[in-house]
């Protein structure tokens, strides 16, 4: 974990709300058993999986959009990107508003930027 990001009690980052970190680093550390190389690999996998995902969601019919959102919910929760997961869950359930896919895109971008700042 970078020196400028302090691990807090479990769930602390989620409590910070929209202004908090895009990833719950404590959760990611637990998921990867403290293995920094594994954490890096998992984050790269997330980036690979989500590359172009928003474009695919916009072009998809409702059924396929929900399937894409479902996959994203799981992977986002796995790395601690809970705001991404929550937004994707609304899309999966068909509860998304007109701007939710674009909001999802911005949340994913925030995660990408945060991941970049970790190196």
Contact 87, 53 (CB under 8 A): no
- Residue length, the chain? 119
Decide: residue 107, CB within 10 A, 0-12 exposed, 13-18 middle, 19+ buried: buried
| Annotated domain spans of the chain | 12-117
d(CA 82, CA 14): 7
d(CA 23, CA 53): 19
pLDDT the model gives residue 98? 83
pLDDT the model gives residue 119? 77
pLDDT the model gives residue 47? 97
| Assigned CATH topology for domain 12-117 | 1.20.120
∠ CA 64-69-71, rounded to 5°: 100
Contact 89, 71 (CB under 8 A): no
Contact 93, 81 (CB under 8 A): no
pLDDT the model gives residue 40? 96
Compute mean pLDDT per 10 residues along the chain, 119 residues long, and list them.
37 44 95 96 96 95 96 97 96 91 96 92
* Full-model pTM: 0.82
């Amino acid at each position: 974990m970078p020196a400028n990001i302090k691990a807090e009690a479990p769930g602390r980052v989620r409590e910070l709300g929209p202004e908090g970190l895009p990833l719950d680093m404590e959760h990611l550390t637990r998921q990867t058993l403290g293995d920094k190389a594994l954490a890096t690999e998992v984050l790269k996998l997330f980036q690979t999986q989500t590359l172009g995902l928003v474009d695919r969601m916009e072009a998809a019919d409702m059924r396929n959009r929900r399937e894409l959102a479902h996959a994203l919910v799981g992977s986002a929760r796995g790395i601690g990107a809970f705001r991404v997961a929550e937004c994707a869950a609304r899309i999966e359930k068909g509860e998304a508003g007109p701007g939710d896919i674009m909001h999802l895109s911005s949340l994913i971008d925030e995660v990408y930027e945060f991941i970049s700042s970790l190196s």
